[in-house]
Amino acid sequence: MSLEAEAKSNFEQQYNCSQSVFAPFAKRMGLDVDTAFKIATPFGGGMGHMGQVCGAVSGALMAIGLSEGITEYDKELKDACYALAEEFQNRFGELHGDVTCPGLLGLDISDPDQLEEAREQGLFITLCLKFVGDAARIAGELLEV
């Protein structure tokens, strides 16, 4: 199954955007999937329903870190990881116009009334599923996974 398809399947099983994107990468890179789901949990809903950076974007950035992050200081490798993160965000932003939940959904989901409106409009089903798939696909292309 492709990264994109697996991420969408996770989302359809009620995992949040961040979990849905990060877990397929974790599985391929040898990180226990249950651990990946736990790590990614608070990043859903734009950082714990605060409506900040999209969880799909956060999940992809975690995948980039898992693949290309450093454990000992190395400026060149750290800068290379940052460059991949920037490239991912640029590509996702060019495709969808933003990398934040309010910019993507047109609603501020940190506001309970707007969160309910997003649910009523089915935005998490229609839009977020697309964001999850695209985030996984773009990160996979950048990481050549």
CA distance 21 to 29: 13
Query: Tell me: the pLDDT tens digits for 70-105?
Result: 999 999 999 999 999 999 999 999 999 999 999 999
Q: What is the pTM of this model?
A: 0.96
Beta carbons of 125 and 50 less than 8 angstroms apart: no
Token code pair at residue 24: 């397929």
Residue 126 located in a structural domain: yes
Query: Tell me: the pLDDT tens digits for 103-144?
Result: 999 999 999 999 999 999 999 999 999 999 999 999 999 999
Residue 32 located in a structural domain: yes
Residue 62 located in a structural domain: yes
Residue 44 located in a structural domain: yes
Residue 145 located in a structural domain: no
Residue 90 located in a structural domain: yes
Q: What is the mean pLDDT of residues 16-43?
A: 98
**Side-chain half-sphere of 98: how many Cα atoms within 13 Å?**
16
- The pLDDT of residue 49 is 87
Number of domains, the chain: 1
Residue span of the structural domain in which 103 resides:
3-140
Residue 84 located in a structural domain: yes
Beta carbons of 18 and 48 less than 8 angstroms apart: no
CA distance 112 to 127: 19
- Which residues, listed in sequence order, are joined to residue 53 by a DSSP beta bridge? 100
